[in-house]
Structure 1
Amino acid sequence: MSISHRQTASGRPLRVAPAWVGAATPVAGSPADHHPLPVRDAVWIWSVRRFARLALWALPASAVLYGWFTLGVHVPPGPLPIALLAGWLAAVSLIALAGLLAGSRTRRIALTGLLITLAGATLLLPLAALPEESAAARVALAPGQVHTLVEAACAVSGAGVLLLGWAVFRSKLVNPADGVLLMLAAMTLGAGSYGVKPVPTVGALLLLAAGMGLAWTGGRLLPRA
């Protein structure tokens, strides 16, 4: 006996809550409330949501590495590998956060914030990794203008994270306090190049608190029965 793609192994029709899929909650008794979801689609959605929940733990890990980088602790690999690893973990976690918010009402704000953050990180990466003279030669700028471009890239990335924090705050999907912490971390990290030395470290601590909260609450999100 074959099992339909709209049935479970027991033969009962599969029903998936709209909050799990990412659609708007239908009115009770409406035709949309009686449409089951194919099993293969449900498995795919569950896998994506599970990846997003697990990948959120990369955000506190990146905050720890970035805080270590801002403290100027000398390690054998040097500061650049630590900064690159922190940036990579932050990119993975922010992509996961935007994916987790895809089923909320702030999905457009989250997507916009993610794209702006990735644009700033793409601009910042070659400028931070290369010496100032080499970076100036590659972007056809004067050596003194490279630092200004780095500050602009940090501001763009901070604006993107600020939008993501606002999306978290307005989503009603996770704890709004985590969105506030993420916005404060974005403003602190975005202004880190202009402030004194403890400012980036404070931003890393705020990012750590926001990342721990998002990873904990996001990992406990389950579809409603």
Structure 2
Amino acid sequence: MSISQRQTASGRPLRVAPAWVGAAPAGSSADHYLLPVRDAVWIWSVRRFARLALWALPAAAVLYGWLTLGVNIPPGPLPVGLLAGWLAAIALIALAGLLAGSPTRRVAMSGLLVTLAGATLLLPLAALPEETAVDAVPIAPGQVPILVEVACAICGAGMLLLGWAVFRSKLVNPADGVLLMLASVALGAGSYAVKPLPTVGALLLLAAGMGLAWTGGRLVPRA
């Protein structure tokens, strides 16, 4: 039994892709602007992963908001805080990846690097006891809370840059960038913030994360 030229063996429509995708500007050499199909498929897969990974941001906001309310959690606050930070890091990396094709890609990459630097400084200070942190690093015991506040401020500054990149990217909803910048201010204040402010920051981060995940999931590259 012969197979139709427009169908596969399973009966599904046959999709034929050209050997190259992309187009060259007028008056330029086409060889410098042609993109192999294998690279296009790889880029599409990376963008699809980034769109799905954006849903980790609202999940991290929910966990962080749970911590700010002081609710007794069976595993303890430390595992929940580490899980929230891990999910936030995945989402921010995905956000910077989606903004790589926008005019604000340099700002987004700078914001991501600054946020990761703050998280790297905050992780050992928050996870280890104060005595262990003092033994590991030659600092005075009273300087550990100061370093924690500095790490929170660095993370907030990085998220502020990411929010500005979202606001100016013209790729997603600019309101999500405003919400992300407001959340970065509330979260970057650390323990200096008034008691309701961290919870408000978590709610702002939840709203920004839901908006970015929804609009980011609907992004389709131009034909």
Task: Report the TM-score when normalising by structure 2.
Answer: 0.88
Deviations 1:104-152 (A, max 9, x none): 0110000000000000000000000111122122111111110000000
- Alignment correspondent of 1:139: 137
Q: Tell me the distance in 1 between the aligned counterparts of 2:110 and 2:117.
A: 11
Partner of residue 186 from structure 1, selected from 184, 187, 191: 184
Question: Residues 169 and 177 of structure 1 are in contact (CA less than 8 Å); yes or no, is this contact kept in structure 2?
Answer: yes
Deviations 1:148-186 (A, max 9, x none): 000000000000000000000011000000000000000
1:31 and 2:28 are equivalent in the alignment:
yes
Task: Report the TM-score when normalising by structure 1.
Answer: 0.88
SS at structure 1 position matched to 2:191: coil
Q: Tell me the distance in 2 between the aligned counterparts of 1:189 and 1:180.
A: 14
Change (3 A) 1:220 1:33: farther
Instruction: Kindly state the Cα deviation for residue 14 of structure 1 after the two structures are TM-superposed.
Output: 4.3
1:123 and 2:131 are equivalent in the alignment:
no
SS at structure 1 position matched to 2:190: coil
Q: Tell me the distance in 1 between the aligned counterparts of 2:20 and 2:146.
A: 56
Q: Which amino acid aligns with 2:221?
A: P
Q: Give structure 1 regions of 4+ aligned residues with deviation exceeding 6 angstroms.
A: none
Change (3 A) 1:129 1:173: same
Partner of residue 15 from structure 1, selected from 18, 21, 37: 21
**Identity over aligned pairs, percent:** 76
Instruction: Kindly state the Cα deviation for residue 87 of structure 1 after the two structures are TM-superposed.
Output: 0.1
SS at structure 1 position matched to 2:21: coil
Instruction: Kindly state the Cα deviation for residue 16 of structure 1 after the two structures are TM-superposed.
Output: 4.2
Q: Tell me the distance in 1 between the aligned counterparts of 2:222 and 2:180.
A: 27
Change (3 A) 1:32 1:111: farther
Count of residues in correspondence between the two structures: 209
Instruction: Kindly state the Cα deviation for residue 15 of structure 1 after the two structures are TM-superposed.
Output: 2.9
Deviations 1:30-78 (A, max 9, x none): 5377843211101100010001100000000000000001111112100
Q: Tell me the distance in 2 between the aligned counterparts of 1:48 and 1:182.
A: 23
State the superposition RMSD in angstroms. 1.8
Q: Tell me the distance in 1 between the aligned counterparts of 2:67 and 2:161.
A: 25
**Structure 2 unaligned spans of 5+:** 1-13
Question: Residues 16 and 42 of structure 1 are in contact (CA less than 8 Å); yes or no, is this contact kept in structure 2?
Answer: no
- Alignment correspondent of 2:110: 112
Deviations 1:11-30 (A, max 9, x none): 6454348xxxxxxxx75x35
Question: Residues 192 and 199 of structure 1 are in contact (CA less than 8 Å); yes or no, is this contact kept in structure 2?
Answer: no
